[in-house]
Amino acid sequence: MLKSIIETIRDTLRSEMTRDERVFILGEDVGVLGGVFRATEGLYNEFGPERVIDAPISELAIIGVAIGAAGVGLRPIAEIEFADFIHSAFDQIVSDAAKLRYRTNGDWTCPMVIRTPYGGGIHGALYHSQSIEATYAHFPGLKIVAPATPYDAKGLLRAAIADPDPVLYLEHKKTYRSIKGEVPDEDYIVPIGKAQVKRAGSDLSIFAYGMMLHEALAAAEILERQDIHAEVVDLRSLLPIDWETIFESVRKTNRALIVHEDTYTMGLGAEIGARIAEQAFLDLDAPIMRVTGPDLPGVPFNEIGEKTFLPNAQKIADAAQRLAAF
């Protein structure tokens, strides 16, 4: 069935709540309103206020309650209304949820999902456009996924709910209604920690995730018309990262281009580039390149500024042309 990403997330939440009574949702405006993006629309009426809980405007409280619920055997799905506000719960996430298995030597786990919309492109400006993945990928004990397609949105959400450890489930808000795809009715899982080659190529590898995957695929179409054959890899899982798929692609094409809309310095691309240099340096025929957002405090509100900040297909294609010319 053809679905948008927001429809897929809503339907998957409904299905998992029907399947397992331990699953419940909490967050700001998730109940009566159905979420600011309507990801939980209708679930309050179906499952009631005890399983779709409108929380106070306190990210710290939302995550703290979810950690406690996970500790006593429930399966909480905590929604942070915008990723920009997740830092209010930073200590709970990285000091408690991420470390619970380690500090108890495996006696306790923390099976919870943190859903949050991230990224720019919808005129959200500084406080509704941030990409926070690199900050949280620094902490072992967490898992982070960033689906770019409806198929992966379902499969990764089901995997996240079933996982015994905390999973940060990142939803690029620009993909919610703009990206549609076939979603099977039957149950399936997309394993956390597995990337996917979305387009095979021989001249260079482009690594991306979230909305940037679609920009990378569009760039590959531009490059194809210039007889440059780009391989596009959807990382999907950002912690853990599927290093083997990355290295295999680099060994095939001998060139690496990493794309993300987070800032250039200390973005996820820095770690990916470093690992490629360590593990596949002799396979490279050109320097590792990145196309990212600039090192600015935030995404501008105005349309010209926002477009200037964000990577797009043409920027990626231009960088790929330079890379292929080495």
* Closest-CA residue to 147 (of 16, 247, 6): 6
Cβ atoms within 10 A of the Cβ of 182, count? 10
Looking at residue 230, what is its pLDDT? 98
Task: Output phi, psi for 52, to 5 deg.
Answer: -130, 95
Residue 219, both tokens: 């760039």
Predicted pLDDT of residue 74: 98
Shared-domain flag, residues 104 and 216 = no
Same domain, 116 and 216: no
Q: How far apart are CA 180 and CA 5, in angstroms?
A: 6
Average pLDDT across each block of 10 residues of the chain; the chain has 326 residues. List them in order: 97 98 98 97 98 97 98 97 97 97 96 98 95 97 98 98 98 98 97 98 98 98 98 98 98 98 97 98 98 96 95 98 96
Number of domains in the chain: 2
Instruction: Write out the residue range of the structural domain in which residue 129 sits.
Output: 2-182
| Cross-strand bridge partners of residue 169 | 115, 145
In a domain, 271, yes or no: yes
**270 class by beta-carbon count within 10 Å (0-12 exposed, 13-18 middle, 19+ buried):** middle
Three-state secondary structure of the chain: CEEEHHHHHHHHHHHHHHHCCCEEEEECCCCCCCCCCCCCCCHHHHHCCCCEEECCCCHHHHHHHHHHHHHCCCEEEEECCCHHHHHHHHHHHHHHHCCHHHHCCCCCCCCCEEEEEECCCCCCCCCCCCCCHHHHCCCECEEEECCCCHHHHHHHHHHHHHCCCCEEEEEECCHHHHCEEECCCCCCCCCCCCCEEEECCCCEEEEECCHHHHHHHHHHHHHHCCCCCEEEEECCEEECCCHHHHHHHHHHHCCEEEEEEEECCCCHHHHHHHHHHHHHHHHCCCCCEEEEECCCCCCCCCHHHHHHHCCCHHHHHHHHHHHHCC
Active-site residue identified among 87, 123, 128, 138? 128
Active site (annotated) includes residue 128: yes
Are 220 and 244 members of one domain? yes
Does some domain include residue 189? no
The CA dihedral of 219, 222, 227, 231, to the nearest 10 degrees, is: 20
In a shared domain, residues 205 and 160: no
CATH number at residue 121: 3.40.50.970
295 assigned to some structural domain: yes
C-alpha–C-alpha distance, residues 189 and 162, integer Å: 10
**pLDDT given at position 199:** 98
Same-domain status, 147 and 296? no
Residue 187 belongs to a domain = no
